[in-house]
Amino acid sequence: MGMSHLAFSGNKPHLQYPGRYRGFTLIELIVTLAIAAILVSLSVSVPKLLQHETITSKTNNLIADLSLTRSEAVKTGEQVLICKSQDQVQCSRSGNWDEGRLIFIDKNKNYQKDPDEQIIRVRQPLPGFLSLRFSAWGPGNGRYLSYQPSGFVQQNGTFAFCDRNRRVRPRGVLIMQSGRARISYRGSTRNPELCP
């Protein structure tokens, strides 16, 4: 039982197996290993790709917010602020830009959101792996960026999106005195204070 029997058919002997043949062919093993290798390589690269796409999306959101802030200042003839905001209601004096931000018309030019001032846009906090820092030259110490009715800003500086896990290269958004913003792939990496 369970043993193979030697049988002769003509002049050549061959083995007969009384039960069903069990095992894998070489082709089946190679295909399985190839599929496993593909799945392993995808599992390593997909999270990095998703983080890269998130940084790209959040950078584009910031560029859109800066453009909106600038255009609202020109359109309304008022000072318009974009500021970091932990509660998405008031500007924050502490904390970081990754905790959320607020855009509003600062009619009395006190650099604070007052109850009678219109909120234009609110952004929620960034995902946990991503940080956003702003290094400014001028008033406000990086707490806000104020656009004037001319479209110019009172302070220029650099926003830096940094991956806390250091899997994805940092991305910077440079703000010129003219109020225009542009993306930089190198500017944010040269300043170690922005991406510690």
DSSP readout, 114-159? -TTSPEEEEEPPPPTTEEEEEEEESTTTTSEEEE-TTS-BS-EEEE
The one-character DSSP state at 77 is T
Distance CA 102, CA 19 (A): 74
Q: Provide the CATH number for the domain around residue 56.
A: 3.55.40.10
- pLDDT over 80 (residue 126): yes
Establish if 22 belongs to a structural domain: no
Give the residue numbers spanning the domain of 141. 28-77+125-184
Residue 108 lies in a domain: no
Q: How far separated are the first and last CA of the chain, in Å rounded?
A: 71
- Provide the pLDDT confidence category of residue 18 given band limits of 50, 70 and 90: low
pTM: 0.76
Q: Note the pLDDT tens digit of each residue in 41-63.
A: 777 677 778 888 899 999 999 99
**Cα–Cα dist 164/59, whole Å:** 16
For residue 146, being part of any structural domain is answered with yes
Q: In the 8-state DSSP scheme, what is residue 195? A: -
Residue 60 falls inside a structural domain: yes
**Which has more pLDDT, 159 or 14?**
159
Higher-pLDDT residue of 154, 196: 154
Split into its structural domains, the chain has a count of 1
pLDDT reading at 171 higher than 60: yes
Residue at 131 is within a domain: yes
In a domain, 118, yes or no: no
- What local confidence, expressed as pLDDT, does residue 84 receive? 94
Question: Is there a domain that residue 114 lies in?
Answer: no
**pLDDT over threshold 80, residue 140:** no
Residue 194 lies in a domain: no
Q: Is the pLDDT of residue 191 over 70?
A: no
Residues 158, 138 contacting (CB under 8 angstroms) = no
Is residue 128 over pLDDT 60? Answer: yes
What number is the average pLDDT over the span 72-85? 96
